[in-house]
Structure 1
Amino acid sequence: MTTKLRPEDILSQYKLKNTACRKMILNELIKSETAMTEQEIKENSEDIFDRVTLYRTLRTLEHAGIIHSIVLSNNVVKYALTKFDADKVHSHFHCTRCNDVECLHDAVEVKTNLPAGYILHDLDIVVNGICNNCN
């Protein structure tokens, strides 16, 4: 049995207030099978929230680690819910035809040889190609 994620529970876990905008964004990202742009999220909110409120809320959720952003090669930014059990390198697949972005759940093995004294905090990998729907 899978447990359905609830925005209220996520916000409570991160000690954030349960505002309507935060709840709406999390609901949309939970429902979506692919990462979403700010515009795609806004379109689903029926213009309840202005652009600035939406932008600030996305930043708050990202800063808290609840969501993460994916910057594509065409400078489009998409957002996805952070998988709470992820302790490996997180990677995404970007379809260059339909522009969908999906989280890849299998671990990607990456070896990094940083100079002495450097510390790796995170590593973003975007695999570009054609998804099975467009192929």
Structure 2
Amino acid sequence: MPKRYIVEVDGVPPSPSPISNAVVVGNQCWISGQLSVGDDGAYVPGSAREEASRAFAHVFRIAEAAGFSRSDIVYVDLAFIDLADVKEVNGLFGELFPEGRRPARTVYQAAKLPFGGRIKVQAVAPR
């Protein structure tokens, strides 16, 4: 059975849910869904791009704490409250993941996200 360990990261606000920031199993890092929250764990509203930027910053911080880099991310799952926001976030996505390093992704509309958030980002990264 592959080695498994939990990743908890200083600087990433704790979730009110009983979850881990990430779980590493063997050579894969599974990063929990991240929202636009501040250091105190409270939701920080903004444009879709601003909220996605905050959520991605948490994802990248967690990946790095687990020994992975942004370029190791091969899959991203994006949940939106309003699919009209996808176009705005696509611009950010292209900046964060340059041509040739873009991960696969799934985009879907959620009926509701925790704290009234607009977007949730989760990711998978292998070594």
Q: TM-score, normalization: structure 1?
A: 0.28
The higher-RCO structure (CA 8 Å, 6+ apart) is: 2
User: Which structure is higher in strand share?
Assistant: 2
